[in-house]
Amino acid sequence: AHERLDLSQALGIIVQACSALGYAHREGVIHRDVKPANIFLSESNEKRTVKVVDFGLACALTGNAAQKLTRTGVLVG
């Protein structure tokens, strides 16, 4: 069973997920498959940590790779 999150909890999860994706972007990696199933919550000592997982469709933004990103109407995976 899933617990219902209040607004503060939900925003905390969103902020952590965006921070993780921002870090990946700064390192030149685009996730390309962000969805709820790829955002894991880990709890220890009543602290909730967000982990963004499954970079299987990720794309590195270096050289020609940046020009090969998925385009509208193209099926990937």
**Active-site hit among 21, 33, 34, 55:** 33
What is the DSSP pairing of strand 59-60 with strand 29-30?
antiparallel
Return the closest-CA partner of residue 70 out of 21, 25, 32. 32
The three-class DSSP label of residue 19 is helix
**Could you confirm whether 33 is annotated as catalytic?**
yes
Query: Going by C-beta distance under 8 Å and a sequence separation of 6 or more, which residues neighbour residue 20?
Result: 50, 51, 52
Catalytic site positions: 33
